[in-house]
Amino acid sequence: MPQPRPPLPALAAPARPLSATQVRILDLLSQAQRPLSAYDLLGKLRSEGVNAPPTVYRALERLMREGLAHRIESLNAFIACNMPHHHDLAAFAICDHCGTVAEVRDTDVEARLGHVAARSGFHVTKATVELHGHCAACSGKAHGHASARETGHTP
């Protein structure tokens, strides 16, 4: 096999544009006030011809690879990244009352975590930081719970 590599137009990276489904899903995530599960997404897409889980998961995979979406581990759900930045250290403040999720960044926390780990010879590649509690709006009031997951969901 000759020709090790023809010039290659210009590219260098994953410049391939998002597919229709991928855009649609990112859109749904952006619209939503709260994280959506893969099934939530699937439900909303059924009417549009998407009817199998793998499609959704594949799209999510792509979006996360590109730093456009995040997975919330403690909820098994996904949100759009509000400030696409390619980072592995984002933190999330999840209100267990109203379900909203705020993406927060704090370099001090990042640094501290790095420190703590390094101190014991651990090399961090990815961190999951998820704070559960009550957001400003829900605090004070509303200590009776509505468990977030079933609030304002699927009519």
Partner DNA sequence: ATATCGGATGTTATATGTTATCATGCTTCT
Partner DNA sequence: AGAAGCATGATAACATATAACATCCGATAT
- Which positions touch its own copies (CB under 8 A)? 73-74, 91, 93, 95-96, 102, 104, 106, 108-109, 112-113, 115-117, 120-136, 139
Q: Which two tokens stand for residue 4?
A: 């090790």
Binding mask 83-102 for DNA (x = CB under 7 A): --------------------
Cα–Cα distance, 109 to 29 (Å, whole number): 27
Cβ 108 to DNA shortest distance, Å = 30
Give Cβ neighbours of residue 89 (< 8 Å, ≥ 6 apart).
105, 110, 113, 126, 127, 129
Contact of 54 with 93, CB cutoff 8 Å: no
Restricting to residues 47-86, name those near DNA by CB under 7 A.
49-55, 57-59, 62, 76-77
Of the candidates 109, 125, 40, the one whose C-alpha atom is nearest the C-alpha of residue 79 is 40
Cβ 8 to its own copies shortest distance, Å = 28
User: Which partner from the list Zn ion, DNA, its own copies, none does 98 bind, CB cut-off 5 to 8 Å by kind?
Assistant: Zn ion
